[in-house]
Amino acid sequence: MKERVFVTASADFEAACQIGIFPESHRARALHGHSYKASIRLAIDDSENDNFDQLEVTRELLQDTCGLLDYSYLNEIIDVPTDENIARYIKEQTGLSNINVIGLTSQSNEGVHLDEFGAAHVWRRFRFESAHRLPNVPSGHKCGRMHGHGFEVILHTQTDLRQSHLGVDYDEIQKHWEELHQQLHHNCLNDISGLENPTSEMISFWIWSRLKGKIPQLSWVTVYETASSGAHYNGSDFRIWKDFSIDSAIRLDRVKETDTRKRIHGHTYLCRLHLTAPLNDVLGWTIDYGDVKEKFNPIFDKLDHKPLYEIAELADNDPFSIARWIKANSASQLVELERIDLFETLGCGVTIDWGALGPALPI
């Protein structure tokens, strides 16, 4: 598949609102407020020289746009300030035509992404504390021992929004999750029917099979086994991701002489690798997270706690160049890799993708 390139930026704002379209008993009808986070994923052509700094341009534009809403009463600006309508407003105010996704998070555990076709992808995050072991792993594998995790689950729904103010109500998603939470929380997953081999992939499949009939709009189930790795399932395909934190020094040569980024500085990068492979029917996973880490370690070691401007192929050590360097150097070892996210600060970075994009993860 042809490579696609995106920049991602985010910005915060504080605002109050009342949502009058809900029933009288709904708490959102009352005057209340949120610490909102807006995010934008913009498709670009980085082969054009002017676009190498598109991340910074997009970040500044989004911050200026969110500044119009900061410390405001949203009902004076947006007639019905649902998360979906606030996201629409931000999209319109940016004036950008090449937006792939515009996202809005009103609470840390819920939000919405509007895609380029106008569909609303409403998501809500849940957590359960459980134990498990993987019975089919090779002898000596640490996951063969009984252990535990604070698992997190994101339920993604997709609705053709058209002119509607609302996709799927967050409380509706919550209601359907409760029954599963009772089964999963404070339990040994291996003892639950259908979860005898409770990998992230099999947990996402188990959740999907029990909720799709109740939530027809369900589009993806995401399971975080740890804070840095997890799996997605959409009823047919599995995807996994693995995060790496990389501390590097950089120096941007192509910026103006007066730009402080021309000096040696650095970032703690979040590098997120997305991989797709067929499910192994015996092991119950697509790829072992440990194998991903082991294969990526030689690349990680070349980047972490290093001055990237001293790497010959990274004379341009902007995020696009770094992500492409990672792709080129990972190709032979991680053949299942099909997307790289590289964030230089929280919610701000680049994506290169040559597979299926999959669900947008909250930032």
Mean pLDDT split into 10-residue runs, the chain, 363 residues? 91 96 88 96 76 85 97 96 94 92 94 89 96 94 95 94 72 94 98 97 98 96 95 94 97 89 96 95 93 97 97 91 95 94 95 80 63
Please name the amino acid found at residue 100: N
The whole model's pTM is what? 0.92
How many Cα atoms occupy the beta-carbon half-sphere of 204 within 13 Å?
31
Q: Which of 353, 243, 261 shows the shortest CA–CA distance to 52? A: 261
- The C-alpha angle with vertex 23 and arms to 19 and 24, in degrees rounded to 5, equals 90
Answer yes or no: is 39 within a domain.
Answer: yes
**pLDDT tens, 289-314?**
999 999 999 999 999 999 999 999 99
Residue 24 C-alpha from the chain's centroid: 34
Instruction: Provide the pLDDT for residue 316.
Output: 86
Q: Give me the pLDDT at residue 163, please.
A: 63
Active site members: 143, 186, 225
C-alpha count within 13 angstroms, C-beta hemisphere, residue 309: 13
Q: Residue 164: its pLDDT value, please?
A: 66
Domain membership of residue 76 as a residue range: 1-116
DSSP 62-75: HHHHHHTTTTEEGG
Q: How many domains does the chain divide into?
A: 1
Cβ neighbours for 150, distance < 8 A, ≥ 6 positions apart: 127, 128, 129
**Cα radius of gyration (the chain):** 21
pLDDT of residue 290: 93
| Residue 135: inside a domain | no
Question: Is 110 contained in some domain?
Answer: yes
332 in a structural domain: no
Residue 318 belongs to a domain: no
In a domain? residue 5:
yes
What are the residues whose beta carbons fall under 8 Å from the beta carbon of 204, sequence distance 6 or more? Answer: 221, 222, 223, 231, 232, 233, 238
Q: Give me the CATH number covering residue 70.
A: 3.30.479.10
Residue 104 in domain: yes
In a domain, 159, yes or no: no
Predicted pLDDT at 111: 94
